[in-house]
C-alpha cells in the first residue's frame, strides 16, 4: 500500500512572487523559477499566471506533465475572461487530453496498482492527481469555450468556429456560418482562415463562387508564406481555373511552396520543367525536384523518377535506379509503376529476368483494371518459348483485356483469344471460365493467385 503523501511545504523565503520575474525565468528556460513565481499568483486568482501554469502543465515544463492540471488552470483563467485560456481549454475538450495516452506513466501506474487494490489506487490517484489525468473529448464544452474566445476576437478560435460549422461538429453543418467565422479570422490576417475562406469562394460553398475573391484571399495567405495557398494559386494559374492560364506565375507559386518542402509543389514544378511550361525545359531540374518530393514518399514523384532513369532523360539510362523508384511507387499502388516494374523484371532490363515477381506486379496492375497489364500478361502466357507459358491463362487475360479495351484494338485481342480458344480442350475452357468468374468477384484475390 502506498504511504501517506506529503503535502507541498510552503516556501520559507519572504520574497513575494512576481509575474515579470516568472516571465524572465521562463524565457531563460528556468521553468522551476517560473513555477515558483507563477503558482502562488495563480492560486491567488491572477488570470495570466493561471494561464501560464496551464501551459507549463500541458508541456511538462518545471512540473510533471499533467493535462488534468493544465485544464484546471486553463479553466480558472478562462472563467475570468482570459481569451487565450478559453481557446486552450476548448482545444483540451475538442481533442481529449491526458488519460487516453496509454504510455503516460500515471495511467500505466494506475492500471498496475488497481489490479492489486482498486480502493488504494483510487485514493492515491486522487491525492497525486487531484485534477484528474486529463479530460475526455466534449464537443459541446469545446464549442462553448471556442465561442467565448472567438467573440472576444481571438483569431484562431474564430477559425475553429468556422471549422466546426463547416464540418457540422457540435452544430448543424452550415457553410455560410463557416464563411462568416473564417472571414472574421481572415480579416485579422490569420493565414489558415484566409486559405479556408478562399477555398469556400473557389468552390461556392456558403458564398457565391467567386474566383477573384478566392485568388485575393489565397494571395494574402500566400504572402505570409502559407504553403497550401501558394500551391492552390499555382494550380489555378497552371490550369487556368477561372482565370487565363499563366504557366510562369504557376511556376513562381510552385517554387515558393516547393522551397518550403511541399512534396506536391515539388513534383509539379519538376513537371513544368519537363514540359518547358513557364520555365525553360530542363530535365535536370525535373530530376532535382522530383527527387526531393519522392524522398518524402510522394508516389507521383517516385513514378516520374522511374521514367526519368529508365528513359535516360537526365543522363544515361539507369534501369537499376529506375527499378528502385518504380518499386517504391508500385508498393503504394501506382498502377503505371506496377506495369513498368513488371515489364522491367520480366524482360530483365538492367539485370537478369525475374519472371515470378514481374508477373506478380503485372497482375496487381491488371487488378486495378489496367488493360496494358492484361494484354502483356496475355502475351507472356501465350509465348510457347517463355518460362511463363500457360495457354489457359493467356486465353483468360486476352479475353479480359478485350472486354476492357474500347476501339479497334478490342477486335485484335478478341481474335487472339479466339485463336487460343480453338487450341484448348472443353475442360480447359471451363477452367478459364471459372477463373474469369472469380476475377469478377474479387480481382485482387485472383491477381495474386
From 427, 426, 431, 364, select the one nearest 394 (Cα to Cα): 431
Instruction: Please give the pLDDT value at position 117.
Output: 61
For 261-291, the pLDDT digits (tens) are 999 999 999 999 999 999 999 999 999 999 9
Q: What b/e readout covers 168-196, taking b as 16+ CB neighbours within 10 angstroms?
A: eebbeeebebbbbbbbbbbeeebbbbbbb
Q: What's residue 227's pLDDT?
A: 97
Name the pLDDT band for 116 (thresholds 50, 70, 90): low
The number of C-alpha atoms within 13 Å of 84 and in the hemisphere containing its C-beta is 10
> 339 is written with which cell numbers?
506495369
What band does 132 get if pLDDT is binned at 50, 70 and 90? low
Q: Which pLDDT score, from 0 to 100, does residue 100 have?
A: 41
Task: Give the pLDDT confidence score for residue 393 in this predicted structure.
Answer: 94
**Which band of pLDDT confidence, cut at 50, 70 and 90, is reported for residue 443?**
confident
DSSP per-residue letters across 375-437:
HHHHHHHH-TTSTT--HHHHHHHHHHHHHH--STHHHHHHHHHHHHHHHS-HHHHHHHHHHHH
Least confident of 12-26, 148-162, 171-185, 347-361: 12-26
pLDDT in tens, 326-347: 999 999 999 999 999 999 999 9
pLDDT in tens, 220-252: 999 999 999 999 999 999 999 999 999 999 999
Q: Residue 441 — very low, low, confident or very high, per pLDDT cuts 50/70/90?
A: confident
* DSSP 8-state code for residue 241: S
> Which of 414, 349, 354, 352 has the alpha carbon at shortest distance from 378?
414
**Model confidence at 135, in pLDDT bands (50, 70, 90)?**
confident
For residue range 416-428, what is the model confidence (pLDDT) as tens digits? 999 999 999 999 9
Confidence of residue 2 (pLDDT cuts 50, 70, 90): very low
Q: What is the pLDDT of residues 380-419, one digit of tens each?
A: 999 998 888 999 999 999 999 999 888 888 999 999 999 9
Question: Does 302 score more than 90 pLDDT?
Answer: yes
Q: What is the pLDDT of residue 361?
A: 96
Residue 97 pLDDT > 80, yes or no?
no
Contact status, residue 328 vs residue 294, Cβ threshold 8 Å: yes
Model confidence at 449: pLDDT above 50: no
CB neighbours (10 Å) of residue 101? 16
Tens of pLDDT, residues 173-217: 999 999 999 999 999 999 999 999 999 999 999 999 999 999 999
pLDDT tier at 121, thresholds 50, 70, 90:
low
Task: State pTM to two decimals.
Answer: 0.82
Tell me the C-alpha distance between 357 and 299, whole Å: 20
Contact 73, 53 (CB under 8 A): yes
139: its cell numbers: 464537443
User: Distance between CA 399 and CA 429 in Å, rounded?
Assistant: 12
- Residue from 99, 102, 103, 72 nearest 88 by CA: 72
pLDDT over threshold 60, residue 10: no
- Cell numbers 528556468 correspond to 30
Phi, psi of 279 (to 5 degrees): -145, 160
pLDDT band at 141 (very low <50, low <70, confident <90, very high): very high
Residue 1 has pLDDT above 50, yes or no: no
Least confidently predicted of 97-101, 164-168, 298-302, 443-447? 97-101
pLDDT of residue 130: 58
Q: CA 107 to CA 95: how far, in whole Å? A: 18
Phi, then psi, of 135 in degrees rounded to 5: -135, 150
Rounded to 5 degrees, what angle do the CA atoms 360, 362, 364 make? 70
> Which domains can be identified in the chain, with CATH numbers?
19-139 (1.25.40.10), 172-224 (no CATH), 227-332 (1.25.40.10), 368-449 (no CATH)
Residue of 427, 430, 428, 376 lying closest to 400 (CA atoms): 376
Amino acid at each position: 500500500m502506498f504511504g501517506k503523501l506529503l503535502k507541498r511545504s510552503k516556501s520559507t523565503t519572504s520574497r513575494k512572487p512576481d509575474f515579470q520575474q516568472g516571465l524572465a525565468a521562463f524565457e531563460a528556460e528556468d521553468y522551476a523559477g517560473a513555477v515558483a513565481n507563477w503558482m502562488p499568483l495563480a492560486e491567488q486568482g491572477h488570470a495570466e499566471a493561471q494561464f501560464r501554469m496551464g501551459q507549463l502543465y500541458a508541456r511538462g515544463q518545471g512540473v510533471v506533465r499533467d493535462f488534468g492540471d493544465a485544464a484546471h488552470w486553463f479553466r480558472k483563467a478562462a472563467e475570468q475572461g482570459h481569451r487565450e485560456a478559453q481557446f486552450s481549454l476548448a482545444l483540451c475538450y475538442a481533442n481529449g487530453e491526458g488519460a487516453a495516452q496509454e504510455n503516460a506513466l500515471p495511467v500505466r501506474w494506475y492500471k498496475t496498482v488497481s489490479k492489486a487494490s482498486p480502493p488504494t489506487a483510487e485514493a492515491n490517484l486522487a491525492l497525486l492527481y487531484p485534477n484528474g489525468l486529463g479530460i475526455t473529448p466534449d464537443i459541446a464544452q469545446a464549442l462553448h469555450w471556442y465561442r467565448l474566445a472567438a467573440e472576444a476576437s481571438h483569431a484562431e478560435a474564430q477559425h475553429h468556429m468556422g471549422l466546426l460549422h463547416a464540418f457540422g461538429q457540435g452544430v448543424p453543418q452550415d457553410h455560410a456560418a463557416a464563411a462568416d467565422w473564417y472571414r472574421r479570422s481572415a480579416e485579422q490576417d490569420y493565414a489558415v482562415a484566409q486559405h479556408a475562406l478562399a477555398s469556400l469562394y473557389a468552390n461556392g460553398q456558403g458564398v457565391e463562387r467567386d474566383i477573384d475573391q478566392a485568388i485575393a484571399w489565397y494571395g494574402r495567405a500566400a504572402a505570409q508564406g502559407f504553403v497550401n495557398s501558394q500551391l492552390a494559386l499555382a494550380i489555378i494559374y497552371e490550369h487556368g481555373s477561372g482565370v487565363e492560364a499563366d504557366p510562369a506565375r504557376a511556376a513562381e507559386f510552385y517554387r515558393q511552396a516547393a522551397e518550403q518542402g511541399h512534396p506536391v509543389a515539388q513534383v509539379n514544378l519538376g513537371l513544368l520543367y519537363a514540359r518547358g511550361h513557364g520555365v525553360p525545359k530542363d530535365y535536370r531540374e525535373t530530376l532535382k525536384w522530383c527527387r526531393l518530393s519522392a524522398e518524402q514518399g510522394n508516389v507521383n514523384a517516385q513514378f516520374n523518377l522511374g521514367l526519368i532513369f529508365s528513359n535516360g532523360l537526365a543522363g544515361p539510362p539507369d534501369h537499376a535506379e529506375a527499378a528502385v523508384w518504380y518499386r517504391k511507387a508500385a508498393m503504394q499502388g501506382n498502377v503505371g509503376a506496377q506495369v513498368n516494374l513488371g515489364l522491367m523484371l520480366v524482360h530483365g532490363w538492367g539485370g537478369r529476368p525475374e519472371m515470378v515477381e514481374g508477373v506478380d506486379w503485372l497482375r496487381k496492375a491488371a487488378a486495378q483494371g489496367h488493360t496494358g497489364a492484361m494484354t502483356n500478361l496475355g502475351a507472356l502466357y501465350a509465348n510457347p518459348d517463355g518460362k511463363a507459358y500457360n495457354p489457359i491463362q493467356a486465353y483468360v487475360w486476352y479475353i479480359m483485356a478485350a472486354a476492357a479495351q474500347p476501339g479497334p484494338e478490342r477486335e485484335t485481342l478478341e481474335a487472339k483469344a479466339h485463336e487460343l480458344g480453338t487450341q484448348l480442350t472443353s475442360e480447359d475452357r471451363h477452367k478459364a471460365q471459372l477463373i474469369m468468374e472469380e476475377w469478377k468477384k474479387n480481382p485482387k484475390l485472383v491477381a495474386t493467385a
